[in-house]
Homo-oligomer: A and B are copies of this chain.
């Protein structure tokens, strides 16, 4: 649709841009969508949802799940992060934009398999480590996350075939699926006081993560783990203070972190 260029976030009275994302910066699922758009060089407008409330546009665009991210392309909404990433890959398939999914059907199926595995295993464990105070449950979540990362270490070796990314020479579907969650995995390491990325166990994943987070399509949209840690801690305090009631703009909240 558009030539590679930096994304724009504008709040002017111009007509709505072709691509809008209903998002919330700390969401790992929103990160996936933004990385995919950056990778394709698609300009977009990010509309930040406010903490503790849901916009009219979000409710109308994703009436089933009422969750971010939603991608609006010429006003037509698509929901669910991995589905959006595939959609982006299909809509911006030409003009020299890098492919997100590999061409070979078997390789595509393998990447879809691992992406589904990631979504089955990692977000539930993050949720437990971020919020649950029961030691037994936390221990279980740490065990599951460690096992998951070890399987992904093996998957990386097979998929990358000695190259830099799951996708080979450039980041692809599985890089985006796992990479979007990277900040939160690092954040729960700090919050729960555990070590998940152990050099002895997942050396290739650690190197991959170091490359992923400084990739041009990633570096501006990946939220730093320290920010997520602060946000989690302030969130808890804030929500308690507000008795879980009043809406608070994430923008204001984020300002408080600096």
Contacts and interface: CB of A to CB of B under 8 A. Distances in A.
7 contacts: A64-B151, A73-B106, A78-B106, A78-B110, A80-B113, A83-B109, A90-B105
A106 B80 contact: no
A127 interface: no
A67 interface: no
A86 interface: yes
A79 B113 contact: yes
A194 to B, nearest CB: 23
B106 A76 contact: yes
Interface of A: 64, 73, 76, 78-80, 83-84, 86-87, 90-91, 105-106, 108-110, 112-113, 116-117, 151
Contact of A90 (B76, B78, B108, B116): B108
Work out how many copies of this chain go into the complex: 2
A87 B108 contact: yes
A64 B147 CA distance: 11
Contacts of A106: 73, 76, 78, 87
Contacts of A109: 78, 83-84, 86-87
Nearest to A62: B113
Contacts of A78: 106, 109-110, 113
Leading 9 A-B pairs by shortest Cβ distance: A90-B105, A87-B109, A78-B109, A83-B112, A91-B105, A83-B109, A87-B105, A83-B113, A80-B113
Nearest to A90: B105
A154 to B, nearest CB: 10
B117 A64 contact: yes
A86 B112 contact: yes
A79 B120 CA distance: 15
Nearest to A111: B83
Contacts of A90: 105, 108
Contact of A116 (B83, B91, B117, B151): B83
